[in-house]
C-alpha cells in the first residue's frame, strides 16, 4: 500500500484539429510522492505515470473509435534522460528505482496505447 501526495498534468494535442495538424497525441501524467506502507524508514520516492487520453469529444464513443487514436509508443523524455544519465554513471540525479513501458488494456480509455510508469 502506498501513501503520499500527488499532482496531475494534461498536455499536447487533444482535439481532432490538433491531430489533423500532426501534433502529438494528448496525454495525462500524474506524479505521486509516496512510500511503502510497511517501510519503517518511510523513504519517499516519486512515481510518475503517463497515459494517452482520447481526442476531445470522443471520450464516450465506442472503444473501437478510441482505439483508432492509439499511438502504441511515445518517447517519454524523462525516462530517456534517466536511462542515458544512468549509463553515464551521473552521481547527481535521483535514483531510478524502476520503470515499466506497457500498453493499456482493451478496457482502458484509449485501448492499446502506451502506458509508462517511472519510479
pLDDT tens for residues 71-116?
A: 777 788 999 998 998 888 888 888 888 899 988 888 888 888 888 9
Query: C-alpha grid cell for residue 16?
Result: 481532432
Q: Is the sign of the CA dihedral 48, 17, 113, 58 positive or negative?
A: positive
Place of cell 531510478: 96
Q: Which domain holds residue 9?
A: 2-118
pLDDT tens for residues 39-68?
A: 778 888 888 998 888 887 888 888 888 888
d(Cα 60, Cα 28) in Å, to the nearest integer? 17
pTM of the model: 0.72
Amino acid at each position: 500500500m502506498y501513501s503520499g501526495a500527488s499532482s496531475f498534468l494534461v498536455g499536447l494535442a487533444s482535439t481532432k484539429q490538433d491531430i489533423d495538424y500532426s501534433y502529438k497525441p494528448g496525454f495525462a501524467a500524474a506524479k505521486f510522492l509516496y512510500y511503502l506502507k510497511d517501510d519503517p524508514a518511510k523513504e519517499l520516492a516519486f512515481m510518475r505515470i503517463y497515459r494517452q487520453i482520447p481526442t476531445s469529444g470522443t471520450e464516450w464513443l465506442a472503444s473501437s473509435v478510441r482505439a483508432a487514436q492509439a499511438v502504441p509508443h511515445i518517447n517519454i523524455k524523462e525516462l530517456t534522460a534517466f536511462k542515458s544519465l544512468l549509463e553515464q554513471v551521473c552521481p547527481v540525479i535521483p535514483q531510478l528505482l524502476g520503470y515499466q513501458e506497457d500498453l493499456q488494456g482493451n478496457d482502458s480509455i484509449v485501448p492499446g496505447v502506451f502506458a509508462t510508469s517511472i519510479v
